Chains A and B, each alone.
Chain A
Amino acid sequence: MEILFDALAEVFAPTTAAFALAAIGLNFHFGLTGLLNMGVAGFMLVGMYGYAITTQAGAPIWLAILTCCAAAAAFGVILGWPTLKLRGDYLAIATISAAELIRYLGRSQTLQPLTGGSTGIRGNEFKFTFEALSPFPDENITILAWTYHGSLSSSWWLRVVAWAVVALVAFLFWQLSRSPWGRVLKGVREDEDAVRSLGKNVYSYKMQALVIGGVICGLGGVLWSLGNSVQPDSMGRPTTFWIWTLLLLGGAATVFGPILGSILFWVSLVLVRQIASTVIPDTWLSPIELEPFSLVLVGVTLMCLVIFRPQGILGNKRELALNG
């Protein structure tokens, strides 16, 4: 019973919302436009650094969010400028390297006064502006079986805001993907040359998609950091690969795919860990081995998904052929 409640808590956890948001950002890149962005974690890290550092400098929350968006957009422009003219896998290699570059810079000793080095920025140094806005009482609140604080750290307030943002962005994605603009993006995904022959500037459309998706990923990073802290090492390559897995699980190019994928991903990760720890005896699989064991399963899931069901749960196979 407890296992079930733990797993169900993941359904509306802030981390789930943050990953869903980042996956919607990736959906703009990959689902709509066919861009292979392997640097999602880099966009998230840039976004959360932008937010946290601005807040530390004493800026109000709207300025911090604006900085986060600007930083993520600038990161997208810098990355896209050389690589969007090249073949797909060049963008993949460039984005993954740029994301790692940001992580190395963030955790380096030289930038420690700004980014806090490898320990990152602790929660109490940048969360206060967000927590001050909370309308909820300053105490633990229990709803059904779950108890969280009203407004501090991983709180009910953060849950409400995070899912509201996810809903808003999902709506935005739905509207944009069926607008004329979205149809051009889908055209770029299917056949770049055909779109070019219609007189559209493919490069510019790709850049717009990269920047919009990147900003959404950055906001996802801010949500993540509000539930945890700014931690460069938790935004490494595995995070990017998880987001890819959950996007492909839910179904790329769909509105609810990223959200469903994120919920399923986190619920099943918790379920696997809990069930494995109760079912498999300690001598076979000790508690420290549990984490790598469940992540092996994530990797295998990603492989099987791509091979057997590339359109995911909600996707349409005919619409989405992974080609590059």
Chain B
Amino acid sequence: MLKAIPDLEGILTKTIDRRAILRALIVLLVAAGAVTAMSLLGSASAAAATSEVAAIAAPADAAAAATSIAPTEAEPVETTSASTGSNRVVQTLVNGIVFGLLLALASVGVSLIYGTTGLSNFAHGEQVTLGALLTYFFTTQQEVSLPLIPVSFSIGWPLIPSALVAIALAAGTGWIQDKFLWSPLRRRKVTIVQQMIVSIGLSLAMLNFIQWWFGAQRVRLTIISDERIDMGLFDIGQITLISVVISLLCIAGVGYFLLRTRLGRATRAVSDNPALASASGIRVDGVVRLVWVMATGLAAVGGILLALYDSGTAFDVGARLLLLMFAAVTLGGLGQAFGALVGSLVVGISVEMSTLWIGTDLKYAVALGILILVLLLRPQGILGRAERVG
């Protein structure tokens, strides 16, 4: 029945072959090496900012383009005097890896949806926020209410059951969205560009709906403080450690699903060639529905873990992360599920490590700079096949 599958297996292993992974590792090592070298030199001069951007742009010698994003009058806001240099570098590296892993949960969804339907989903950021704030809705001791209903009540469940219910509800929104919005649009042969603008409208509506529901203030999911565990060169919070484990488990689960299960093979078949997949007896609509549920569920998990990591969440957290997700997905190669993981790690590490030299208010700007550089130099991403796009 699934004759196309062996070939697909070949294509997939070819695309994530050792060379590509090696390339990604080299990018990481060069970036990390440059960053360490810079910190050892201990130069806190304005020049640091420019060379740092070049270091992140390591996919190729992009120093020329670096000027477009490097602030000309950069003055490091934080100085390295507080702690010893190497400690701080390792600490930010660890923070970066943690942030990257949590970001990966959200980006994998963007990538899966793009792979199977071709849609760049601009409303994915709101799914991240939704997961976090639904958890808050169930777990908080404060009074909560629903929009338009003038009754307030408090639920106050423990954190874990609330999180599970929130994830289930968020995944449910994915099912509803696909059932009542995206699948009819696909059936009506609405073009991808139109669908993309629809997703922008949806993102605008959801963002403001969430603000209407929960208000604009920052809220905390739990009052438990994150106990720091000293690991020698760096320390890491207990909750953060658990979050990292959960994130790794989820990602491993997605990997197992895609590579080892029948349904996962069907998903990859759909993302490679929907018409052929449909002709070989795969229910494309069912697969896409499943991808939407998975993507929104993973986004909710990511949102909850990020809210715990940042010890707080607000209605616009996801919107701010959306472009980081796009950066990660583009960096890894649009539509490549594993590319999203690699891209997220690169984005996470460079975002966190950039705070060594430039102000924290500019750290997200670094990721956007990387995104533009990637589009300039290697639009198919690190793991993407070299082909003409466009």
Contacts and interface: CB of A to CB of B under 8 A. Distances in A.
A302 B198 CA distance: 7
Contact of B323 (A81, A100, A245, A301): A100
Contacts of A301: 201
B372 A306 contact: no
Give the secondary structure class of B's interface: helix
Given A88-B193, A92-B120, A100-B323, A108 B201 contact: no
Interface string B133-173: 00000000000000111100000000000000000000000
A109 B150 contact: no
Interface stretch (B14-22, B87-95, B205-213, B296-304): B205-213
Contacts of B71: 105, 108, 110-111
B390 interface: yes
Given A299-B203, A306-B194, A109 B359 contact: yes
A303 B190 CA distance: 12
Contacts of B190: 307
Contacts of A300: 201, 205
Interface residues of A, number: 59
A248 B197 contact: yes
A110 B358 contact: yes
A245 B365 CA distance: 26
Interface stretch (B73-81, B238-246, B260-268): B73-81
A90 B191 contact: no
B85 interface: no
A78 B68 contact: yes
Contacts of B147: 289
B369 A101 contact: yes
B388 to A, nearest CB: 9
Given A90-B389, A292-B212, A307-B185, A244 B197 contact: yes
Contacts of B149: 284
A276 to B, nearest CB: 11
Given A104-B368, A245-B201, A295-B204, A86 B375 contact: yes
Nearest to B202: A303
Interface in A100-121: 100-101, 104-105, 107-111, 113-114
B192 interface: yes
B196 interface: yes
Interface stretch (A129-137, A266-274, A316-324): A316-324
Given A310-B194, A324-B191, A303 B205 contact: yes
A323 B193 contact: yes
Contacts of B197: 244, 248, 302, 306, 322
Nearest to B196: A89
Given A89-B120, A101-B69, A108-B365, A83 B375 contact: yes
Contacts of B191: 321-324
A114 B73 contact: yes
Interface residues of B, number: 54
A94 B376 CA distance: 10
Interface in B296-322: 319
B148 A296 contact: no
Contacts of B209: 292, 296
A238 interface: yes
A9 interface: no
B361 interface: yes
B292 interface: no
A196 interface: no
B319 A237 contact: yes
A98 interface: yes
Nearest to A304: B201
A98 B368 contact: yes
Nearest to A302: B201
A298 interface: yes
Interface of A: 36, 38, 78, 81-83, 85-90, 92-94, 96-98, 100-101, 104-105, 107-111, 113-114, 237-238, 241, 244-245, 248, 283-285, 288-289, 291-293, 295-296, 298-303, 305-307, 310, 321-324
Given A105-B362, A108-B365, 9 more contacts: A36-B193, A82-B375, A94-B375, A97-B368, A101-B369, A293-B212, A299-B204, A300-B201, A324-B191
